[in-house]
Amino acid sequence: MANRPFDHIAIDLAGPLPVTDEGYLFLLVVTDICTKYVVIRALKNKQSDTIAKQLISIFGDYGFPRIIQSNNGTEFRNALMTSLSKNLGIDRRYSTAYHPQGNGSAEASVKIALNTLRKMVQSNSRDWDHYLPIVQLCMNRYIKNKSLSSPFSLMYARRVNLPDDYTNKEKYPLPKDVMTIKELEERVNYMENVIFPAINERTQKINEEYSKRYNDKNILVNIPSGTHVMVRLNSRSGKLAPLYEGPYTVVRKNKGGSYELKDEQNELMHRNYTPSELKIVHIDESNIEDEYYELEAIRDHRGPSGNREYLVKWAGYGERANTWQKAGDFTDPTIIQKYWDKQDELKKLEHERAEQLVNKASSNSKYNESNRSSTPKVSDEKKVHSVETKKRTLPTKLSREERLLKRRLNKEKK
């Protein structure tokens, strides 16, 4: 919980977007946790020095935060950002990798910013950076459910002025009394001592209700050390790629609720994992060697797509040991995908070879026709010699394989 505006901010990036005429590619989105006020800036790249300069510019407008939270991306977690935070006395907090809920405020702001920008830009994608000030204003003027106020009014203690005819003195009369410095100070004190504590209290109650509903539906299981787990893959090469990899062994649970894992060689994994990324599995370690065999290659397939089997060559065994296996028997479906990719390559090569053979036979035939049409008439005494010459110039017969390829190619063309 944040007690005052810009005490605690969450930052995130969006992009790359279509490059603008001025060379901008990314969005830097800063969300104030207390008021939900959003600041949006365009970036030409996501290098650490570019982000640091833009943050300093924002801090100059709104003051320095006490806490900055972000994801574990290298654009945020690097030596420059660490040095900047240390010199300014800022508490840096990071969400667990591949777990966007840990930086939920920033993730939500990025999503809304992109949707709003998309509606405004439409087909003018090369000048989207010009729309950002209006996108920011639109996001900050809407009333939030938790605070029952707009982020703009909480940040500036006044209502936002929207486009209107302010020359209409009846609708917008000039104020009779100008607010004094003392009245301004009293309004600031009222916001800090009454409004913000009330908003924090209401927000905390709503969060507790949300948390209770979530916990009632989702029971978090504490995973003990030594438990075997599979890790959900966040990036997959295709629809047939495996959903999980492993198994791994749980080492310990950290204070933040994430888990340290080790692999089969007892080496620690390069990062920690949230409970939502793990699936507990039960493994009989004494039978691992007997249950799994190493697959060397897929030789052939048979049957329709819904009930297809594959002829498997096992590593360390001869061809006589090959067996037919169903698709569901494979622990790594990418092997099947690679087999079909290879089949597509073979078909392509076969088609190209057939084309070459047909073209070669056609060119030979045209060449011989040309020779016959240009041959002068000969006397009866030279007919025998002419026939022998024609026999030598006739094209050679196609082999059985070449005839089959030519027939298949003609069918495909039809």
Are both 111 and 241 inside the same structural domain?
A: no
184 in any annotated domain: yes
What residues contact 16, with CB distance under 8 A and at least 6 apart? 25, 26
- What per-residue confidence (pLDDT) applies to 390? 47
Q: Residues 45, 142: one domain? A: yes
**Stretch 217-243: mean pLDDT, rounded?**
69
Residue 236: predicted pLDDT:
53
Are the C-beta atoms of 112 and 139 separated by less than 8 Å?
Answer: yes
Whether residues 143 and 110 fall in one domain:
yes
Cβ atoms of 103 and 33 closer than 8 Å? no
Judge if 405 and 261 occupy the same domain. Answer: no
Indicate the average pLDDT of the chain.
Answer: 77
CATH number at residue 241: 2.30.30.140
Judge if 250 and 311 occupy the same domain: no
Would you give the end-to-end CA distance of the chain in angstroms? 71
What does the pLDDT look like over 269-307, one tens digit per residue? 878 888 878 888 876 544 444 445 677 888 898 988 777
In a domain, 340, yes or no: no
DSSP 45-96: ---HHHHHHHHHHHHHHH---SEEEE-S-TTTSSHHHHHHHHHHTPEEEEPP
Q: What sections of 104-172 are H helices per DSSP?
A: 104-121, 132-141, 151-156
Higher pLDDT, 382 or 59: 59
Domain that holds residue 286: 228-290
Q: What is the mean pLDDT of residues 181-207?
A: 78
Concatenated DSSP letters for 231-276? EE-SS-SSTTS-SEEEEEEEEEE-TTS-EEEE-TTSPBPSS-B-GG
Residues in the chain: 414
382 in a domain, yes or no? no
- On whether both 155 and 279 belong to a single domain, the answer is no
Structure confidence at residue 101 (pLDDT): 54
> Total domain count for the chain?
5
**What CATH number has the domain bearing residue 323?**
2.40.50.40
Question: In the structure, what pLDDT confidence band is assigned to residue 132 with cuts at 50, 70 and 90?
Answer: very high
* Torsion angles phi and psi, residue 129, rounded to 5: -65, -25
Could you tell me if residue 172 is inside a domain?
no
Examine residue 72 and state whether it is found in any structural domain, yes or no. yes
Task: Examine residue 341 and state whether it is found in any structural domain, yes or no.
Answer: no
Short-list 64, 62, 73, CA closest to 15: 73
Dihedral of the alpha carbons of 166, 168, 170, 173, in degrees to the nearest 10: 40
Per-residue pLDDT, 242: 59
Kindly tell me if the per-residue pLDDT of 333 is higher than 80.
no
**CATH code (residue 109):** 3.30.420.10
- The Cα 44–Cα 28 span in angstroms is 10
Shared domain for 351 and 254, answered yes or no, is: no
Same domain, 26 and 109: yes
Query: Which tokens sit at 347?
Result: 């078909």
Q: Quick one: three-class SS letters along 166-201?
A: CCCCCCCCCCCCCCCHHHHHHHHHHHHHHHHHHHHH
200 lies in the same domain as 129: no
pLDDT in tens, 57-82: 999 999 899 988 888 777 887 888 88
Q: Which has more pLDDT, 216 or 67?
A: 67
Q: Give the pLDDT of residue 239.
A: 45
Higher pLDDT, 341 or 332: 341
